[in-house]
Amino acid sequence: MALNFYTQGIDFSGLGQGIARGLEQAYAIKREDDLRVQKNLDDFEKNYNPEKLRVQDLAEFTTAFKNYKEYALKYSRLNRGGAKPEEIAVANELRERSLNEINDLYSKSTMANQLLQERNEYRKMMAQRGYETPEEVNTQILDLTTKPVKDIDFKSFTSPYEINLKPSPKDFAAVSTAFKALPKSLDEDIEETEDFDVPGYGKAKVRVMGKYKKANVADALNTAKLMMANSRVANYIKDDYNNLVYGFNLPDDVADPQLAIVKRQANNTIRDIQNNTGIKINSIEDISPELLLAYNWGVLTRQRVGYRTDKDELNAAFKTAGIKMTQARFEEMVNNNKNIQANRVFNQTTQKEKFEYKQEQDKNKGSKFGELLKNKRAEKKKQ
């Protein structure tokens, strides 16, 4: 009775028993090899977690992996089937290239995803603290979400936590230039005093009308908002704003001396803003960060541009100065005369005292000499 062999849909019943058995064994070995290769590929695929990939890379990665599996199976078959060496070499090269492609794609995509997640967490942290995300981080996020992984320069990425949040000198210069460019409107004249030089007298104070200018409040706020599009400027003024809010919310009778200073500074700032802008401030919410930025830069403060004098005021001041100068000169002359007279009296008194002293000396000298002569004569007579 002839044997009937049937393996995986292949009918060997028409062949001799020995040949059929040999072919069946050969086919079984080939099938086991294919299964082993497939299992290895399946195990290899398990090493790749699609959840670690960016969504935009999934399709490309799936295609690359499919190509690798095909090249790997083809290489396995050629290698087992005794194909020509050059055919095996080509198949192996294709297999290796496809393997490098999926490895490169997978590593870069997972790295991009990790970098993206880190920057997402950073943005959440900044938002919770009320700060703006630096422009560099936003640019990196756009690169990580829009560019193919092959076009991303991963070496240029640094941790967002290492980025400086403080404005640079260039940032401050831009803010200063923008505020200086604001058109200034003349404010009302304010009565003041001005010092004028009066030759021979010195300074004379004259009443004048000081002329002041400042920017329009609305223009200043719009410019401040524009400057705060720079995250570093926005974060800088945010710190100042937080300090202002903190000082405002302190109780009026705060006991700590340092906190009392903070409270006083906050009150002074709020009062100054109100006086210079005309904005009625009922609560701290009436002061916005952009308003504080404009105030800090002095845009809302009046700037003196000159003064206007009244001719009569000026003449009266010079006349008064002249009278004071004449009076001062007269008093100086009187004082000088008094000094001269005092010196004269002093000199006369001194000369008189010297004369009387000399006379007394001469008198003393004369009386002693006469007494000496008288004594000598008396001694001679005794001899």
Query: How far is C-alpha 334 from the geometric centre of its chain's CA atoms?
Result: 67
The whole-number pLDDT of residue 380 equals 59
Do 55 and 75 sit in the same domain of this protein?
A: yes
Is 31 part of any domain?
no
One-letter amino acid at 143 equals: D
> Does residue 156 share a domain with residue 59?
yes
**pLDDT given at position 5:** 39
Looking at residue 378, what is its pLDDT? 63
Strands 184-186 and 10-11: unpaired
Burial of residue 109 (CB within 10 Å: 0-12, 13-18, 19+) is buried
Query: Mean pLDDT over residues 10-37, rounded?
Result: 54
> Quick one: pLDDT at residue 268?
92
In which residue are the tokens 């995509």 written? 109
pLDDT 10s digits, 205-235? 777 777 888 888 889 999 999 999 999 999 9
Residue 85 has pLDDT above 50, yes or no: yes
Separation of alpha carbons 175 and 291, rounded Å: 14
Same-domain status, 281 and 374: no
pLDDT value at 248 more than 70: yes
Range from 52-61, 165-174, 175-184, 289-298 carrying the lowest mean pLDDT = 52-61
Are 192 and 252 in the same domain?
yes
Q: Has residue 134 been placed in a domain?
A: yes
Q: Is residue 153 part of a domain?
A: yes
Q: How many CB atoms lie under 10 A from the CB of residue 126? A: 18
More confident residue, 10 or 140: 140
In single-letter form, the type of residue at position 77 comes to R
For residues 279 and 273, is the Cβ–Cβ distance under 8 A?
A: yes
The reply to whether 242 and 198 lie within a common domain is yes
In a domain? residue 1: no
**Domain enclosing residue 54, as ranges:** 48-162
Q: What is the pLDDT of residue 8?
A: 45
For residues 10-14, give the mean pLDDT.
Answer: 48
| pLDDT tier for residue 246 given thresholds of 50, 70 and 90 | very high
The pair of structure tokens assigned to 369 is 């000499």
Report yes or no on 52 lying in a domain: yes
Domain boundary among 249, 281, 309: 309
100 vs 24: CA distance, rounded Å:
37
Instruction: Give SS3 for 239.
Output: helix
Listed residue (115, 110, 108) closest to 159, CA to CA: 115
- The mean per-residue pLDDT over the stretch 230-259 comes to 91
Which pLDDT band, with edges at 50, 70 and 90, does 301 fall under? confident
Q: Give the containing element (helix H, strand E) for 97.
A: helix 85-128
Q: For residue 1, is pLDDT > 60? A: no
Is the same domain home to 192 and 300? yes
Rg value, the chain, Cα:
53
Mean pLDDT of 166-172: 91
Among residues 163, 177, 107, which one has the least CA distance to residue 134?
Answer: 163
Tokens 């290899």 map to which residue? 44
Residues 72 and 82 both lie in one domain: yes
**Residue ending a domain, choose from 309, 344, 366:** 309
pLDDT (tens digit, 9 = 90+) per residue, 332-357? 544 554 555 555 555 556 665 565 55
Range in 11-15, 212-216, 368-372 the model is least confident about: 11-15
Q: Could you tell me if 178 and 276 lie in one domain?
A: yes
**Domains held by the chain: number:** 3
Q: Read off the pLDDT band of 4 (50, 70, 90).
A: very low
Domain membership of residue 295 (yes or no) is: yes
Contact of 116 with 52, CB cutoff 8 Å = no
Half-sphere CA count of 236, side-chain side, radius 13 A:
20
Classify residue 5: in a domain, yes or no: no
Range of 252-261, 307-316, 342-351 with top mean pLDDT: 252-261
| 222 in the same domain as 330 | no
Does residue 274 form part of some domain?
yes
Question: pLDDT averaged over the chain?
Answer: 77
Q: Which of 187-196, 314-323, 338-347 has the lowest mean pLDDT?
A: 338-347
Helix (H/G/I), strand (E/B), else coil: 303:
strand
Q: Is the pLDDT of residue 12 over 50?
A: no
- What pLDDT digit, counting tens, does each position of 353-365 carry? 565 555 555 555 5
Statement to judge: residues 345 and 215 lie in one domain: no
| Domain end (from 162, 185, 200) | 162
Residue 246 to residue 240: CA distance in whole angstroms = 10
pLDDT of residue 294: 93
Q: Do 304 and 315 fall within a single domain?
A: no
Question: Both 121 and 185 in a single domain?
Answer: no
Say how many C-beta atoms besides its own lie within 10 A of residue 227's C-beta.
Answer: 23
Q: What is the DSSP letter of 47?
A: T
